[in-house]
Amino acid sequence: MQVLIVEDEQLAAERLQQLLRNYDANIQVLDHLYSVKQAVQWLQQHPHPDLLFLDIQLADGYSFEIFKQVAYRRPIIFTTAFDQYALEAFNHHSIAYLVKPVDALQLGQSLQKYRELCQPFSAVQAQQLLQQIQQPAYKRRLLARVGQKMFFVNCDDIRYFFADDKLVYLVDREGNRLLVDMTLEKLEKCLDPQQFFRLNRSYLVHLDSIAQMKPHINSRMKLWLRSGGKTEEVIMSRERVPDFKVWAEM
C-alpha cells in the first residue's frame, strides 16, 4: 500500500509514520507534505496514492481547497485536532475521520476498513459478480388456471406454450393444459432463453419437450413435442430455423 501524508505539524507526521510502520512494515510513505500548495503540485505531477492521510487545517488554508484544483478519487483518512469538519470531510471520499492525537487503535481500525472496502476481487469473485450483473432474473414459476381454480406451475415442469385464438395455454410434463394470462411475446421475454424457444407465432417450447425433429418442406422443420406420454407435431417457420440451430447447440 502506498500512502501520502499531508500534515503541517512535524511531530504529528512523524508519529503517524511510526504508527504506520508498526501496523504494517510494507506500507510505503511516498512523501510528507505541509501545505495545500505542495499537495496540489504533488498530486498534479504524480500518480495518486492508494490512500491519502490529510490534515484539515494546513499552514496555508483548509485542505478541502485541494479538491477544487485536483480531481482526486482515492480513499482519504482525515486527521485533525477538531471534530467540526467531519461532515465536510465525508463529501471527499473519506473513509475515516481521526481526531488528534491519533492512536494505534484508531489507525488500525481505519486501515482495516480501507482493506475491506478497497481490496481487489479475486478472479472467481469477479466472474461471479459479472454473471450476476449479466444474468437477468427469469421467472421460476407462473400462475395458471383451469376454470376458476388457480395453480403455481414451476417453469421446469412446463413443456410448451401454445396460442389458440387470443388465449395462451401451457402444457406441463403430465400433459395437463392450463390457461395463462400472458401473451407469448411477454412469456418469451421473462423465461430463460436457454430453456425456451419460440418456434413460430403459436408455439413457445421448452428444450425438454422436443422428442424428435426433421427437415420439412420449404426449408422448414417438423418437431414432435412430448408431454404426458403423448406427442404433438409442430412445424417451425422457415425464418426461425437458423436461430433454432444455434439455440440447440448452446
> How does pLDDT run along the chain (250 residues), one tens digit per residue?
899 999 999 998 999 999 999 999 999 999 999 999 999 999 999 999 999 998 888 888 888 899 889 888 888 888 887 655 555 555 556 788 888 888 888 899 889 888 887 665 445 555 554 555 455 578 889 999 998 899 999 999 999 999 998 899 999 999 999 999 999 999 998 999 989 999 999 999 999 999 999 999 999 999 999 999 899 999 999 999 999 988 987 6
Q: Which CATH class is domain 141-248?
A: mainly beta
pLDDT score recorded for residue 56: 85
Query: Smallest Cα–Cα separation from 94: which of 51, 59, 131, 62?
Result: 51
Output the pLDDT for position 131. Answer: 56
For 3, list phi and psi in degrees, rounded to 5.
-125, 155
Instruction: Give the start-end residues of each E strand in 166-229.
Output: 167-172, 177-180, 196-198, 203-206, 210-216, 220-227
What is the pLDDT, as a whole number, of residue 101? 83
- Give the span between the Cα atoms of 50 and 1, in whole angstroms: 6
Spans of all domains in the chain:
2-119, 141-248
CA pair distance 239, 69, nearest whole angstrom: 59
Task: Report the alpha-carbon distance of residue 99 to residue 80 in Å, rounded.
Answer: 5
Instruction: Work out whether the CA dihedral 188, 194, 196, 200 comes out positive or negative.
Output: positive
Pairing relationship of beta strands 76-80 and 158-164 according to DSSP bridges: unpaired
| CATH no., domain 2-119 | 3.40.50.2300
CB 154 within 8 Å of CB 139: no
Q: How far apart are CA 228 and CA 145, in angstroms?
A: 18
* Pairing mode of beta strands 158-164, 149-154: unpaired
